[in-house]
Amino acid sequence: MPNIVLVGFMGVGKSTIAARLAKMLKMKVVEMDKLIEKRQEMSISDIFERNGEDYFRDLETELLRELAGETGIIVSTGGGVVLRRENRDLMRQTGIVVLLHANVHTIYRRVTMNDRRPLASRQSKAQIGALMKKRELFYELSADLKVSINRKTVPMICQEIIRKIEEMEEKNV
């Protein structure tokens, strides 16, 4: 199985799906946000607050450069990773880029439940919807394939991802 890179808006379930896929496929998970927090010894919210968003985006790009050389990994990205062209290219070099998407109601319910996300906390549903819309093109530009998560269980989503990757691979040989 090639590397799999999961992209999608905040709250779409990238971490949960990555963990389950890794178990099913016996691959290793790389949680970009968690790894950045560990290396910086700071939470994402603190990095944003102290060093600003651009600094955080540079850390994401650096990490993606590292990951492009690895094998056997499922990468769970942060929701804003698709914004930079260089990141999109690096993700493509790393593996199959899978876009998880959900409707604004699901996303809103999930991202406002806690305070961990500096770009989503204290936002209205309309503001979340506007940010989703603004990013839509970048998600589309990044993805090799797309999976909707609405009304599906975690195993259903994982099976769908695996099936679609296998179909893609068959077509390419």
Does the footprint of ligand S3P cover residue 13 (CB under 6 A)? no
Closest CA to 158 of 3, 2, 27, 22: 22
Minimum CB distance to ligand S3P smaller for 39 or for 173: 39
CB of 56 to ligand S3P, least distance (A): 7
Q: How many residues bind ligand S3P (CB under 6 A)?
A: 10
Stretch binding ligand S3P (CB under 6 A), from 86-94, 115-123, 137-145, 161-169? 115-123
Give, as one character, the DSSP assignment of residue 70: -
Does the footprint of ligand S3P cover residue 88 (CB under 6 A)? no
CA 107 remoteness from chain centre: 14
Give, as one character, the DSSP assignment of residue 131: H
Q: Token pair 């016996």 is at which residue?
A: 26
Minimum CB distance to ligand S3P smaller for 48 or for 145: 48
Pick the binder of ligand S3P from 1, 29, 118, 123 (CB under 6 A): 118
Paired with 73 in beta bridges are 28
Cα torsion 65, 146, 84, 88: sign: positive
Stretch binding ligand S3P (CB under 6 A), from 62-70, 91-99, 111-119, 165-173? 111-119
Q: Residue 97 and residue 27: Cα distance in Å, rounded?
A: 16
Does the footprint of ligand S3P cover residue 2 (CB under 6 A)? no
The residues, ordered by sequence, that sit 6+ positions from 145 with a Cβ below 8 Å of its Cβ are 96, 97, 98, 99, 161, 164, 165, 168
CB of 37 to ligand S3P, least distance (A): 10
Does the footprint of ligand S3P cover residue 44 (CB under 6 A)? yes
Minimum CB distance to ligand S3P smaller for 2 or for 118: 118
- Phi/psi at 44 (5° precision): -55, -40
Stretch binding ligand S3P (CB under 6 A), from 72-80, 94-102, 141-149, 157-165? 72-80
Closest CA to 12 of 71, 77, 90, 87: 77
Positions touching ligand S3P (CB under 6 A) are: 10, 14, 33, 44, 78-80, 117-119
